[in-house]
């Protein structure tokens, strides 16, 4: 089992025990992770090389972004992929930036309709 698989397996086991962590020292770090799960998370992260950490971070970021795009596409089934991306920009960064991106796309003859 790879480090990520080990991490998730141990986190799941700790969470199933109902152990919840509300503080790390005196600072509130997380409210929904048990102390045991947090120890496993940190241990797995410490054993990863910097390259593995970067790869894992990028993979998780891509997954979250894909989930967001998929949710928008389900909510607005008539939008093309490009318009889903514009909607993501609007919802994440605001209407002003989405309008600027849309204008840029038009000026550069990028077709956002399909």
- Tell me the percentage of the chain whose pLDDT exceeds 90: 33
pLDDT digits 0-9 by tens, 98-111: 999 889 888 887 55
Mean pLDDT, rounded, of the chain: 77
Cβ neighbors of 42 (< 8 A, separation 6 or more) are: none
Please give the pLDDT value at position 33: 74
- What is the model's pTM? 0.58
Task: Give start and end residues of each alpha helix (H) in the chain.
Answer: 3-16, 35-47, 50-75, 81-93, 95-107
Long-range contacts of 63-71 (CB under 8 A, 24+ apart): 68/92
| pLDDT tens-place string over residues 90-100 | 999 899 999 99
pLDDT of residue 108: 84
44 CA to centre of own chain:
19
Query: Do the Cβ atoms of 87 and 79 come closer than 8 Å?
Result: yes
Residue 110: the pLDDT is: 53
């Amino acid at each position: 089992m790879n480090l990520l698989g080990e991490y998730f397996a141990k986190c799941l086991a700790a969470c199933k025990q109902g152990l919840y962590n509300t503080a790390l020292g005196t600072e509130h770090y997380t409210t929904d992770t048990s102390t045991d799960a947090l120890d496993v998370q940190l241990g797995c992260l410490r054993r990863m090389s910097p390259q593995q950490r970067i790869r894992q971070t990028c993979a998780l970021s891509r997954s979250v972004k894909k989930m967001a795009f998929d949710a928008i596409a389900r909510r607005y089934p008539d939008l093309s992929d490009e318009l889903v991306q514009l909607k993501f920009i609007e919802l994440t960064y605001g209407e002003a930036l989405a309008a600027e991106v849309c204008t840029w796309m038009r000026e550069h003859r990028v077709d956002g309709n399909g």
